[in-house]
Structure 1
Amino acid sequence: MHQTMFPLLIVNILENHATKERPLSVTEITEFVNREFGPFAMEKEQLMNRSTVTRILDAMEFWTEEGNLLNFKVTQCGSENKKLFCLERPKG
C-alpha cells in the first residue's frame, strides 16, 4: 500500500472508533490501523508505526483546523498530558 493512503486509513479509524467522549490515543490508532489494514503491509511487519501516525495526525489537525477544507476537523480531545484524537463535524 502506498503511503499517500495513510491519512485516509487514519480518518477511517477515527470515524469508526473514536468519539469526543472516547477519543483515541496515538498508540490505539496505530494498533487499529495495523490490525485492520495489516494484510496490506506486504513484507513489512506493520503498516504504520507510532511516529508516522503522530506526524499524520499533526498535519491533519493543522489542515482541518478551520473546518472549511474538508467536512470534518481532526482535533485533540484529551488533556494536555496525553494526546487523544477524534473527528468533529461542523453543525449544519
Structure 2
Amino acid sequence: MAEALAHTQGKRTGGRTHKVTVKPDEIQNARKQLGLSQDQFANAFGVSASTLRKWEQGQRAPTGAAKTLLKIIEREPKAVVRALRAA
C-alpha cells in the first residue's frame, strides 16, 4: 500500500512499469475480430472514426487508457463485449 501511495505522489518506487504498445495492424485485427466497421468500432469504444482510421493507418498512436483497452480487445474481444453489454 505504501508503494502505491508513493507512486501516486510521483515518487520513485521499486515497482516495474509495463509499457503497452499497440501496432496499427493489431488495432485493425482487433476490430475485425469483433466483426465491426470502423464507424461501429469507434462508436462502441468512444473514439471518433477519424481517430480510429488514423490509428489503423499509423498516422497517430493511441495513448493512455486507449492503448490498454485496445490491447485487451485484441486479446480478449468477447470478454470486452460481455463487459460492455453488462454495463
TM-score exceeds 0.5 = no
Say which structure is richer in strand: 1
Normalised TM-score (structure 1): 0.22
Greater C-alpha radius of gyration: 2
